[in-house]
Amino acid sequence: MPEITAKRSGELLQGVFQILLDKPEGMAAKDVLASLEKTVPPTPFEKADYPSTPGVRRFEKIVRFSTIPAVKAGWLIKSKGTWSLSDLGKDAFEKYIKPEEFCKRARVLFYD
């Protein structure tokens, strides 16, 4: 899927983290996704539905998929539909400024 690069995944992931930084109690995933759409607008590709599944937009699925390495790295906590950041996640957000680096570091930890 060349439309979703490491840079774009990193931008989406950083957007999620930015939203959650000031929400220590976490936030409902659907609300995170709605907020993210306003702060990191979807590309035309992401706005489109999956051809095989009309009515299912790519954006939400791509974001959810992009968060998997961050969850496995211990940066993002998902519990009962609520997303929140761990202290490790807050530190990573501060440390890895470039979107590609942020995404790639999460992936490295995911595979460790």
Report if residue 35 sits inside a domain. Answer: yes
Residues 6 or more apart in contact with residue 38 via CB below 8 angstroms: none
Report if residue 112 sits inside a domain. Answer: no
Number of domains in the chain: 1
**What confidence tens digit (pLDDT) does each residue in 22-80 have?**
999 999 999 999 999 999 999 999 999 999 999 999 999 999 999 999 999 999 999 99
Report if residue 54 sits inside a domain. Answer: yes
**What confidence tens digit (pLDDT) does each residue in 74-108 have?**
999 999 999 999 999 999 999 988 988 888 888 77
Structural domain range at position 53: 6-106
Whichever domain contains 74, its CATH number is 1.10.10.10
Of 63, 76, 62, whose CA–CA distance to 106 is shortest? 76
